[in-house]
Structure 1
Amino acid sequence: MKAARYYDRGDIRIDDLPEPVLSPGTVGVDVAWCGICGTDLHEYLEGPIFAPAQGQPHPISGESLPITLGHEFSGVVYAVGEGVDDIEVGQHVVIEPYIIRDDVDTGPESRDYHLSPDMNFIGLAGRGGGLGEKVVVQRRWVHPIDSSVPLDQAALIEPLSVGYHAVERSGAKAGDFALVGGAGPIGLLTAAVLKALGVTVAISELSPLRRQKALDSGVADHALDPAVADVTEEVRRLTGGKGADVAFECSSVQAVLDTLMEALRPTGVLVVVSIWGKRANFDMHKLVMKEIDLRGTIAYVNSHPAVIKMVESGQIDLSPFITGKIGLEGLVDEGFDTLINRNESAVKILVSPSGEGL
């Protein structure tokens, strides 16, 4: 089978690999679509980061570079291993792409398995990936999804779950006013969850194309240009002088972080969603004097079932966020290059490893 393999910084190759081997308790999936994530771009430009460097195998997967990339993916079950009796061949599925130690409690009541020692991701630390034609995954991480949801949209369940968990962490509720800093994929999908819950959403974003996408997709009530408008004053105007109840930092940009701190009301909640590659300057005095609640969030934890229900029920329409579809051979030139150098023109670019659907 064909797979996109990450060898080192700036080095991705399309390789021919043996098909993965099914084992007891696993599910074989024909990958339909895989999204390109910002994490993949960071690995390509600055890595290895999550990916284990050559000669330094990951302590759970036992693998090191090269690895198959891709952790945002959907597909169709082609085989089930011994002991798997609740999934059938032909079912549509999405993957919760964790690599977690077997002795960690990942049951339905767990709220912290995603924070367990040595946690990593399928498609970043081994065990195959969504940028290969086939993958074999432990049953625990395979989530059926109704066939009424197109498989291309289903590939966005994983990043949507990131937004869902961030909103959970914020405590946002219907009637609140939220300010989202950055209208990239995660910012837009976080806004989609907020709108589905009945929250009023403003997005601050420099790119006119992304601001328009936020409005056209219906995930933002207000799209603010921080180069033109005083975002803090505009938020206060929209909230009767109060300020935002919750804010989401989705850009890893210092100026955005500063603006969110200013625009929050006293006792507001600031959730940092983006991955920062450097230390931020933080106004601790403002945090103290406004009693701001600062919260981090990473990935998701038991989020996929609720997110899948939101999509299946039509609460969230993922179709507006798919802005490109490519084959495996175009991964770097058409996919990575666009998202690195012309990212304002794209939200989510999907890859079909087999070429089907293009």
Structure 2
Amino acid sequence: MRAARFHARGDVRVDDVPEPATTPGTVKVEVEWCGICGTDLHEYLEGPIFAPTQEAPHPLTGEGAPIVLGHEFAGVVAELGDGVTDLRVGDRVVVEPYIVCGRCDACQQGRYNVCATLGFVGLSGGGGGFSQHVVAERRWIHPLGELGTDVGALVEPLAVAYHAVRLSGAQPSHSAVVFGAGPIGLVTTASLKAVGVEEVIVVEPARARKEKAHGAGADHVLDPRETDVVEAVAELTKGRRADVSFECAGIDQVLATAIRSTRAGGTCVNVAIWGHEATVAMNDLVFNEVAVRGSLAYCDDHTDTIALIADGKVDPYQFITGRIGLDDIVEKGFRELIDNKEENVKILVSP
């Protein structure tokens, strides 16, 4: 079968690879759509970052580059392994792309998303969504019901946002401020509105992304180049500042502003993956008893995320800005997102 594999920095190729076989308790999925994630772009531009190498293979898969990319994918059940009786061939499904040990303290707590040796299908070996077929354990297969597989490919990034919103403790009566209207900031905004948060403020300087923030449900959009964000948030919230805030950019100044925009006793959730050590003004936390919480990926969030889409509380189609075939993944996928990132949110690939 054909698959897009990461070989080295700047080197992603479409190769012929063996089709994976089912084993007891697993499901073979014929991939129909897979989204290109910012993590994939970072691997292409700066990797290997999360991708294992031959010198340092992943501890659970034993694999190193070249590895198949793609972790935001959905498709139809192609084959059932022995013992899987609650699915049928042809069912539309999305795969929660985890590789976990099941033995560490985090896994024993049920926090498998922070497994001590965490891996992702599409980043750590074990196949990936930029291929024709993927085999995964039944526990990671989530039925989509009547939803299409193009929407299914958006479940993974939406689950990232839903998980962050859930950890924040946001309530319908709350105000929230989201810093950054890139893909994760936009789906975080949509998730906040989907769970009923009354007032959502987005902070974003780029014109195209500001427009997309309104479409995602933002009640107010602030340009940090034109306004003092902390003062503006305070004014919009009648002096309280936001109950919850979300840092989706991975920038020191943005984190500092997010903390100062959070009301006393509120929560600032860091959703971004940082490329450097963050600098935090601790007194901004201490003097207002603001809690800063990290949020990584998702954990038991796919079912609820699918329900939000099925119930019409989130419109995932607004985030799809392109659809391409596997042969065009580098030029019309990776390069398009890198060179025109403000115009794009999610490009889907059909393997």
Q: Deviations over 1:274-332 (max 9, x none)?
A: 00010111110111111110100101111111111111111111010001111111111
Output aligned runs, 1:138-177, within 5 Å.
138-147=137-146, 149-177=147-175
Give the equivalent residue in structure 2 for 1:20. 20
Shift of the 110–93 alpha-carbon distance from structure 1 to 2, 3 Å rule, reads farther
Distance 1:105 1:150 in 2: 37
Q: Where in structure 2 are the equivalents of 1:1-358 lying within 5 Å?
A: 1-103=1-103, 111-147=110-146, 149-199=147-197, 200-217=199-216, 219-353=217-351
Checking the alignment, whether the CA contact within 8 Å between 2:40 and 2:69 is kept in structure 1 is yes
RMSD: 1.5
Question: For each residue in 1:141-173, what CA deviation from the matched residue of structure 2 results, as whole angstroms up to 9, or x when unmatched?
Answer: 1111112x2211110100111001101111111
Aligned residues with identical type, % of pairs: 51
Once residues 188 and 69 of structure 2 are traced to their aligned partners in structure 1, the CA distance between those partners, rounded to angstroms, is 24
Kindly provide the CA deviation profile for residues 214-244 of structure 1, in whole angstroms up to 9, marking residues without a partner as x: 1123x21111111112211111111111101
Cα displacement (A) at 1:20: 1.0
Give the counterpart letter for 2:168 in structure 1.
S
Q: Report the alpha carbon displacement of residue 338 of structure 1 after superposing the two structures with TM.
A: 1.8
Contact 1:111 1:302 in 2 (8 A): no
Counterparts of 1:104 and 1:277 in 2: how far apart (Å)?
Answer: 26
CA distance in 1, matches of 2:191, 2:335: 29
- Amino acid across the alignment from 2:246: F
Do the aligned partners of 1:110 and 1:302 also contact (CA within 8 Å) in 2?
no
Work out the CA distance in 1 between the residues paired with 2:97 and 2:104. 15
Distance (Å, rounded) in 1 between the aligned partners of 2:72 and 2:96? 8
CA distance in 2, matches of 1:155, 1:214: 20
Q: 3-state SS of the aligned residue for 1:343?
A: coil
- Describe the superposition over 1:64-97 as per-residue Cα deviations: whole angstroms up to 9, x where unpaired: 1100000000100011010000111000000100
* Cα distance change, pair 106–82 in 1 and its aligned pair in 2 (3 A): farther
TM-score (norm 1): 0.95
The answer to whether the 8 A contact 1:271-1:294 is kept is yes
Output the CA distance in 2 between the equivalents of 1:216 and 1:165. Answer: 21
**Amino acid of the structure 1 residue aligned with 2:101:** R
Letter in 2 for 1:58: H
Alpha-carbon deviations, 1:33-87, whole Å to 9, x = none? 1001111111111111111112322111111110000000010001101000011
Contact map agreement 2:230 2:260 (CA 8 A) in 1 = yes
Partner of 1:356: none
TM-score (norm 2): 0.97
Q: Deviations over 1:119-138 (max 9, x none)?
A: 11000001110000111111
For residues 151 and 135 of structure 1, the distance between their equivalents in structure 2, rounded to whole angstroms, comes to 15
Does the CA-based 8 Å contact 2:142-2:302 persist in structure 1?
yes
